[in-house]
């Protein structure tokens, strides 16, 4: 029922009619990708599009997101087609960006613009690597085509478009975009064609320069901002740009962007947005609007800019104190930049946690999600230390428990989704015994095991969490029951969650049984890959899983989907030791010919492991010491306070 208004929105916004006589929507049980935008016939894997009685609110939003993305492709990709894979972003990034603007129009209170900010933040993780690719770069090998279908093309591309749209204004950018579509209707257009039309139609040369500086070079800008207030002068903010570089990174500082830069300065109830086009390494913003020094600054207005920021320690502290005054998008990027500053060796851990804990109390689900990610980014450092892990679990309960209770009192769709997210986080990372028991009992009942008393109902939003905990608590008995239930439960979402749950096994003794199952072909090729990916991220079994993969790699790649072998180096990117890098290089030195196109994934995985090692060496003890201070008395070391 959303198809027609989505199409009408694009017709109105772009000024170009829907280009085909019909639109078929097809669900296929084993479609290799989530969806494909065949002209006038969108084809979905059924688990992405079929909505039924067990579907939860998160699935509804996921369905709307993918459907609006595919409808946008009727204009971006089908009506105007890139001539070669170099310009994949012209269809994928624009369709990803269009998802947020159409859904925000149809459901103004849905927070879809915040989902776009979250997508932007997700791209920053990959773009922080030296090995990250540019949004637009030459594709010369068939094997590199699939490598272009990554977060850089989709999410960084989306973020750059949204940044330009926000800075120059929708009233200027979007009509020009429509005229680009009209000019190349039923034809092909590459990036130079796009840049030329946009420059001509907007008469804004800075727009094209900014686009190209973000699209044609890799890497993530870091904007350092320093508020300076001197007697007798207007307040100023000194800005400098560099490439973001975490601890241990091999990045060389040689990049400069043309940044459509906006910050917020605030004093009392006065809040001002101040902008500049930052093309040099340094710039100064004069805050003429303020007679006295502002109380605080937020170096990414609205969270619309594709950059991370850094502040002097005192100004980070002021931002933490005034966190509640930030817009939701600003709060999201503030948490991400705080984590990034900590991982670059700059921000102190207590300041990071003050910001994360403030985010956990926020009204908007996406901001709370950022707080969850901040805690999760630190979990690996405490996972093998009993006191530190217990302290983190106690802090998770203290910080997120009240927010969960507040969300449970709400009927808003966003809060219902947040309930599922926080219950999963508290049960799994926070190790909440009551929640784990509740989920395990519900999972047992769902797969046909006997359970006494009433159990909670499960929706598609809960399947992964409940089945994973059922697997971890019930072991082989639960595994057998879940496998038997697959033939009785006709729900593609459940089938997908079952494969995920098997991969969440944390019992080393069960690993051989699970690997035999995944290689048997009983569950499918996509499931074989999913199970191995999960086992490589469970701290209790990942070393054994890694040893198994090294010993069985040739057989493994024969049993996974054909587009997956090139990605297999990423299975190791959660490892954290110099030895793992050596073993990873040796594995692909021996078997790289079985995974054509593996080189990019290998570079990314090798770098990710190296960054983990550097962070552990530099800040691991600080993380463990900090959280051990919150440990209950029975697990706290004697010298903790």
Q: What is the pLDDT of residues 602-631, one digit of tens each?
A: 999 999 999 999 999 999 999 999 999 998
Residues 79 and 114 in one domain: yes
The answer to whether 566 and 594 are in contact (CB under 8 A) is no
Residues 48 and 153 in one domain: yes
Backbone angles phi, psi at 483, to 5 degrees: -65, -40
Residues 197 and 98 in one domain: yes
End-to-end CA distance of the chain: 58
Q: Which of 160, 195, 215 is the last residue of a domain?
A: 215
**Average of pLDDT values for 133-140?**
92
Q: Is residue 55 part of a domain?
A: yes
Q: pLDDT band at 640, cuts 50/70/90?
A: very low
Q: Is residue 59 part of a domain?
A: yes
Q: Which of 355, 384, 416 is the last residue of a domain?
A: 355
The answer to whether 307 and 222 are in contact (CB under 8 A) is yes
Residues 202 and 227 in one domain: no
pLDDT score, position 43: 86
Q: Is residue 42 part of a domain?
A: yes
Q: What letter would DSSP give residue 134?
A: P
Q: pLDDT band at 140, cuts 50/70/90?
A: confident
Q: Is residue 34 part of a domain?
A: yes
Sign of the four-CA dihedral 484, 490, 491, 496: positive
Q: Is residue 379 part of a domain?
A: no
Q: Is residue 343 part of a domain?
A: yes
Q: Is residue 455 part of a domain?
A: no
Position 426 pLDDT exceeds 80: yes
Structural domains of the chain, count: 2
Helices 386-408, 365-382: inter-axial angle, 10-degree rounding:
170
Residues 229 and 90 in one domain: no
- Share the mean pLDDT of the chain: 93
Residues 82 and 127 in one domain: yes
Q: What is the pLDDT of residues 294-344, one digit of tens each?
A: 999 999 999 999 999 999 999 999 999 999 999 999 999 999 999 999 999
- What is the DSSP pairing of strand 282-286 with strand 296-298? unpaired
pLDDT score, position 636: 60
Q: pLDDT band at 362, cuts 50/70/90?
A: very high
List the structure tokens of 373.
């990610």
Instruction: Say which CATH number the domain at 238 has.
Output: 2.60.40.1910
Residues 27 and 157 in one domain: yes
**Average of pLDDT values for 70-83?**
94
Residues 37 and 96 in one domain: yes
pLDDT score, position 56: 87
pLDDT score, position 199: 87
Q: Which of 162, 192, 215 is the last residue of a domain?
A: 215
Q: Which residue has the tokens 């560099």?
A: 242
Contacts of 638 (CB under 8 A, 6+ apart): none
Residues 160 and 309 in one domain: no
List the structure tokens of 435.
């929640």
The alpha helices in 230-385, defined as continuous H runs, are 313-321, 328-343, 349-360, 365-382
The answer to whether 400 and 360 are in contact (CB under 8 A) is yes
Q: What is the pLDDT of residues 160-212, one digit of tens each?
A: 999 998 988 888 888 889 999 999 999 999 999 999 998 888 888 888 899 99
Residues 36 and 178 in one domain: yes
Residues 88 and 66 in one domain: yes
Position 641 pLDDT exceeds 60: no
Contacts of 549 (CB under 8 A, 6+ apart): 532, 536, 556, 571, 572, 587
**Bridge partner residues of 36 (DSSP):** 43
Three-state DSSP class for residue 247: coil
pTM for the whole structure: 0.94
Contacts of 255 (CB under 8 A, 6+ apart): 217, 219, 221, 242, 243
Q: Residue 280: how many CB atoms within 10 A of its CB? A: 10
| Domain hosting residue 66, numbered range | 3-215
Q: Is residue 542 part of a domain?
A: no
Residues 195 and 255 in one domain: no
Radius of gyration, CA atoms only, the chain: 25
Instruction: Say which CATH number the domain at 133 has.
Output: 1.10.390.10
Instruction: Give the integer Cα–Cα distance in Å for 372 and 195.
Output: 39
Q: Residue 429: how many CB atoms within 10 A of its CB? A: 18
């Amino acid at each position: 029922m959303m198809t027609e208004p989505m199409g009408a929105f694009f017709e109105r916004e772009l000024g170009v009619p829907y280009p085909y006589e019909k639109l078929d929507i097809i669900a296929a049980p084993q479609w290799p990708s989530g969806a494909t935008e065949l002209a006038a016939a969108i084809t979905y894997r059924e688990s992405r599009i079929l909505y039924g009685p067990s579907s939860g609110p998160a699935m509804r939003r996921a369905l709307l997101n993918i459907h609006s993305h595919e409808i946008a492709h009727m204009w971006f990709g089908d009506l105007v087609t890139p001539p070669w894979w170099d310009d994949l972003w012209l269809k994928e990034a624009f369709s990803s960006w269009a998802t947020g603007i159409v859904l925000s129009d149809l459901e103004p209170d849905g927070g879809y613009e915040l989902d776009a900010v979250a997508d932007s933040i997700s791209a920053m993780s990959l773009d922080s690597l030296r090995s990250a690719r540019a949004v637009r770069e030459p594709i010369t090998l068939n094997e590199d085509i699939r490598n272009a279908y990554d977060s850089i093309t989709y999410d960084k591309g989306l973020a750059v478009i949204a940044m330009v749209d926000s800075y120059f204004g929708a009233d200027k950018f979007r009509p020009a975009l429509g005229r680009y579509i009209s000019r190349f209707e039923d034809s092909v257009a590459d990036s130079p064609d796009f840049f030329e039309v946009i420059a001509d139609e907007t008469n804004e040369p800075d727009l094209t320069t900014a686009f190209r500086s973000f699209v044609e070079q890799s890497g993530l800008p870091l904007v350092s901002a320093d508020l300076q207030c001197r007697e007798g002068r207007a307040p100023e903010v000194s800005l400098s740009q560099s490439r973001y570089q975490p601890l241990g990174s091999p990045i060389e500082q040689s990049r400069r962007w043309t940044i459509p830069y906006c910050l917020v300065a605030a004093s009392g109830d006065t809040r001002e947005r101040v902008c500049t086009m930052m093309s040099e390494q340094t710039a100064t913003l004069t805050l003429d609007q303020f007679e006295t020094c502002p109380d605080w600054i937020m170096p990414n207005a609205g969270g619309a800019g594709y950059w991370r920021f850094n502040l002097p320690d005192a100004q980070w502290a002021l931002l933490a104190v005034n966190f509640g005054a930030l817009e939701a998008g600003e709060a999201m990027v503030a948490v991400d930049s705080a984590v990034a500053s900590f991982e670059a060796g700059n921000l102190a851990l207590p300041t990071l946690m003050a910001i994360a804990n403030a985010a956990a109390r926020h009204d908007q689900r996406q901001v709370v999600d950022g707080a969850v990610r901040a805690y999760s980014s630190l979990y690996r450092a405490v996972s093998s230390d009993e006191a530190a892990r217990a302290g983190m679990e106690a802090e998770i309960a203290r910080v997120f428990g009240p927010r969960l209770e507040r969300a449970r009192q709400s009927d808003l769709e966003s809060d219902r989704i947040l309930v599922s997210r926080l219950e999963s986080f508290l049960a799994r990372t926070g190790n909440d015994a009551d929640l784990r028991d509740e989920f395990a009992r519900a999972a047992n009942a769902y797969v046909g095991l006997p359970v006494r008393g009433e159990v909670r109902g499960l929706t598609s939003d809960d399947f992964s969490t409940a089945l994973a905990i059922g697997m971890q608590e019930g072991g082989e008995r639960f595994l057998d029951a879940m496998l038997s239930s697959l033939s009785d439960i006709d729900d593609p979402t459940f089938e997908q969650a079952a494969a995920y749950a098997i991969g969440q096994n944390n019992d080393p003794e069960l690993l051989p049984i699970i690997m035999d199952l995944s290689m048997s072909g009983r569950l499918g090729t996509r499931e074989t890959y999913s199970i191995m990916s999960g086992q490589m991220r469970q701290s209790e079994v990942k070393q054994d899983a890694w040893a198994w993969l090294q010993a069985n790699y040739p057989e493994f790649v024969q049993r996974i989907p054909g587009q997956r072998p090139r990605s297999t180096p990423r299975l190791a990117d959660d490892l954290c030791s110099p030895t793992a890098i050596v073993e990873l290089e040796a594995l692909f030195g021996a078997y790289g010919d079985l995974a054509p196109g593996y080189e990019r994934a290998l570079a990314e995985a090798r770098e990710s492991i190296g960054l983990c090692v550097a962070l552990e060496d530099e800040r691991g003890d600080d993380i463990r010491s900090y959280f051990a201070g919150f440990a209950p008395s029975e697990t706290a070391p004697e010298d903790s306070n």
